[in-house]
Amino acid sequence: MTMLFAVVVLAFVLDALLGDPHGRFHPVALFGSAAAEVERFCRASAGDGVGSGLIGWLLMTGSTAAGAWALVRLLLAVHPCAGLFAAAGIVYLTIALRSLVSHAEAIRRPLSRGEPAAARRALSMIVSRDTAALGESEIVRGGIESLGENLIDAVNSAVFFAVLGFLFGGLPGAAAGAVFLRAANTLDACWGYRNVRYLHFGRIAARADDVLHFVPARLTLFAVALGALFCGMRSGAALRDGIRHRNDHPSPNSCWGMAAFAGALGVRLGGPTVYGGEAEAYPYWGNGRAVLRPNDLLRAERLAVVSALVFAAIVTGVGALCLQ
């Protein structure tokens, strides 16, 4: 039980101190390069269909998770502390809370200085929508929506699978679980497109990502509601809007976080959004203020951090109870 709390706490401490690694040797960048090679191999040997994509998905997720498990297992045999720090280091590499906040700050600071062009450039680095014509309120909206959605993808789901892995395999299982989730999430980013190239080959990657985030996304709603309570925001509205708008997005998981943020902050998110020159008519989420300000993004950053810590505390606590 102590080891479970230790690995989660150490992972968050490392993220707070070090942030997300940069450069072409970042684990996700290396994984992306490997995924491209595996894709070529699978297409050449098994074709372009769903079965070929499944083989590639299993190869990538299975090998990376097995590698993480084996490394921690090996270091545990050397010394328990070596295994603990290895597991914590691996889990740290799968979460990106500090990175989420840093990206949001890169948007907020220029807006606060009256530099919307710089804020648009910063927003364009983390969203796929067209940003060139966005005004201040729309820039802030994009930043908050990114925080609400990526809190699930980039933090909470990895913590959930780390704890789940620990329940079945101790420290090696925690490392393997977090890496498995991040590998599956990265494969969705690499292959999960609905275009001619990936319509069939990438179908498993896209569907698996939806399935794996299913439980963490719904637990995130309650974590955001509790986080709002601790931050002095609208906890009840977070719950209400998260549940009301849970299906108001093509992704089955995204709106649980984004709509909860809208309710907690007392603002309105969603609405028409332009991608590649074409408008997507998303519903509005929440019934708060329609005009957003840079300070709303700062409040959203605080909510994201507190909600992530609440989520980690709840999931880890439940995991510890299961071990008794």
Which mean pLDDT values do the consecutive 10-residue runs of the chain (324 residues) have? 94 95 77 93 94 97 98 97 97 96 97 96 94 95 97 97 98 98 95 92 96 98 98 97 94 95 97 88 93 98 98 97 90
Predicted local confidence at residue 190, as pLDDT: 94
Residue 310 sits in which domain range?
Answer: 2-323
Number of domains in the chain: 1
- Fill in the amino acid letter for 69: W
* Residue 15 confidence (pLDDT): 97
Q: Which long-range contacts (CB under 8 A, 24 or more apart) does 106-111 make?
A: 107/139, 107/140, 107/142, 107/143, 107/297, 108/140, 108/143, 108/294, 108/297, 108/298, 108/301, 111/136, 111/139, 111/140, 111/294, 111/297
pLDDT at 20: 85
For residue 169, count other CB atoms closer than 10 A to its CB: 16
Instruction: Look up the pTM and report it.
Output: 0.95
Q: What is residue 23's predicted lDDT score, i.e. its pLDDT?
A: 67
Q: What is the pLDDT of residue 324?
A: 83
Residue 312: predicted pLDDT: 98
Which pLDDT does position 267 carry in this prediction? 98
Q: Which pLDDT does position 24 carry in this prediction?
A: 67
